Amino acid sequence: MKPLKIAKKTLNWGARTYIMGILNATPDSFSGDGLYAQNAQNALAQAKDFVAFGADILDVGGESTRPGSAPVDADEEMRRVIPIIRAIAEHLPQTIISIDTYKAKVAEAALNAGAHIVNDVWGLRADPELASVISAFSCPVILMHNRSNPASVEVREKLGNAYQGAEYANLLEEVKAELLESVEIGTQAGVTRETMILDPGIGFGKTVPQNLELNNRLDEIREMGFPLLLGPSRKSFIGYTLDLPADERVEGTAASVAIGIARGADIIRVHDVKEMVRVARMTDALVRK
């Protein structure tokens, strides 16, 4: 795979694992870290810490994907994220910024404000205009696999909410096929394959055993020939496996990240940046030439 130039940086796929730190500009994040919606300076302080810890990318999101969360309209989402993106772009100009949205209007405003990547949890399926916005800006896009059904949510005390799994006759083959459908939507709009990054969608429309299987068989997704992002951080499949709430899942996240890197993940999207940078560096030392 060709290296990907983003802003002032070049991502050399396979050389090392890149770290994406999560900045949730939401009041209802499942992980308990949605602290920044009202204050861009708080988010900037967190962003500076993440960069100091070793984050390569900062992923700013203004709508929770927590199972059972209420949707947010584009104007409110922009009100939450645009001041943060502008602050990061001004004060951390060497850092890659990702906008976590599936809405074309939000993506366009974020890219104009200084974001470099669009991270779409619906793989270009939710807003028919988003692929055209990405093409117009010639920016990279993260395409996530997602079979979540908002009406199908399981709630357990302490462990939080989780999407119930969808039906799969063949988990890996169907995830791969649906990711390729997202790739095709992008190419039809003029987005180049070299700027696409795939995310298998851990936690989105999969059961706990399916999430574990997908994490462990990530190399089969990697064989599709695209860079891969893995986002297991603090998710419910870890909580259900270890019987732990979101704020006690750092070790489970570390195990998921280490196996993911060993199976070919290029980017890991995490809340606990300092700890996961160390996990990634150690895993890289073990498995990368």
* Domain total of the chain: 1
Please tell me which residue, 155 or 286, carries the higher pLDDT value: 286
User: Rounded mean pLDDT of 80-95?
Assistant: 96
Q: How confident is the model at residue 288 (pLDDT cuts 50, 70, 90)?
A: very high
Read off the pLDDT of each residue in 55-64 and give the average, rounded to a whole number.
95
Q: Three-class SS string for 157-205?
A: CCCEEEECCCCCCCHHHHHHHHHHHHHHHHHHCCCCHHHEEEECCCCCC
- Domain span at residue 27 reads 4-287
Give dist(CA 187, CA 218) in Å, integer.
Answer: 24
Q: What is the CATH number of the domain that holds 193?
A: 3.20.20.20
Q: Which two tokens stand for residue 163?
A: 């999407």
Flag the least confident range among 150-159, 201-210, 253-262.
Answer: 150-159
For residue 30, what pLDDT is reported? 47
pLDDT tens column, 89-104 = 999 999 999 999 999 9
Could you tell me if 52 and 88 are in contact, meaning their C-beta atoms sit under 8 angstroms apart? no
pLDDT greater than 80 at residue 119? yes
Give pLDDT, residue 80. Answer: 94
Distances (CA, A) of 70 to 29, 32, 95, 113, 247: 11, 16, 31, 26, 22
Please state the rounded mean pLDDT for residues 106-116. 98
Closest by CA to 199, choosing from 235, 165, 228, is 228
pLDDT at 161 over 70: no
pLDDT, residue 159, reads 65
Q: Decide if 102 contacts 79 (C-beta within 8 A).
A: no
Residue 156 has pLDDT above 80, yes or no: no
- What are the residue numbers of the active site? 235, 269
The span from the CA of 126 to the CA of 123, in Å, is: 8
Share of the chain above pLDDT 70, in %: 89
pLDDT digits (tens, 9 = 90+) for 16-42: 999 999 999 987 554 445 544 457 888
Q: What is the mean pLDDT of residues 50-63?
A: 97
SS3 268: strand
Secondary structure of residue 215 in the 3-state scheme: helix
Confidence of residue 209 (pLDDT cuts 50, 70, 90): very high
Predicted local confidence at residue 64, as pLDDT = 80
- Residue range 115-143: mean pLDDT, rounded: 98
* 272 Cβ contact partners less than 8 Å away, ≥ 6 residues apart: 233, 234, 250, 253
Residues 230 and 269: beta-carbon distance below 8 Å: yes
Rounded mean pLDDT of 152-163?
58
